[in-house]
Amino acid sequence: MQFICYPKCTTCQKAKKWLDANGVAYDERHIKDEKPMLAELKVWHKQSGLPLKKFFNTSGLQYKELCLKDKLPTMSEAEQLKLLASDGMLVKRPLLVGDGFVLVGFKEEEWKAQLEKGRMEHLKQKAKNGQLMLDE
């Protein structure tokens, strides 16, 4: 699982603390130092099921300086994705990218539900394959 964040962001700090407290294993990625690539953003957008506008950090300085509130509605999806790929600080954070899912922004109940769903699917697969241990 990949946790994509900006370490100075208080919401990211809260999400990281929650992941750690819940024993969730993840690889941390600094969104400014290692910005999302266009191909990744396309996949994440599709997997999330969210409108592309939900991937924009509407609280960020760049969003406001570029007047994106007014510009986004007139931009194509390809233009929006290219813009997101140009600067990690334009991307809403944190992002949690797992096997077949992407969570955008930290909503504790949403994250909890998705991780529990993933855990149950993992256990079902292990049981199907005869690999389930009694302590799981």
Per-residue pLDDT reduced to its tens digit, 29-62: 999 999 999 999 999 999 999 999 999 999 999 9
Inter-helix orientation angle 38-48/77-86, to 10°: 120
CB 118 within 8 A of CB 90: no
pTM of the model: 0.85
2-106 topology per CATH: Glutaredoxin (3.40.30)
Cis peptide before 36 (omega within 30 of 0): no
Per-residue pLDDT reduced to its tens digit, 55-81: 999 999 999 999 999 999 999 999 999
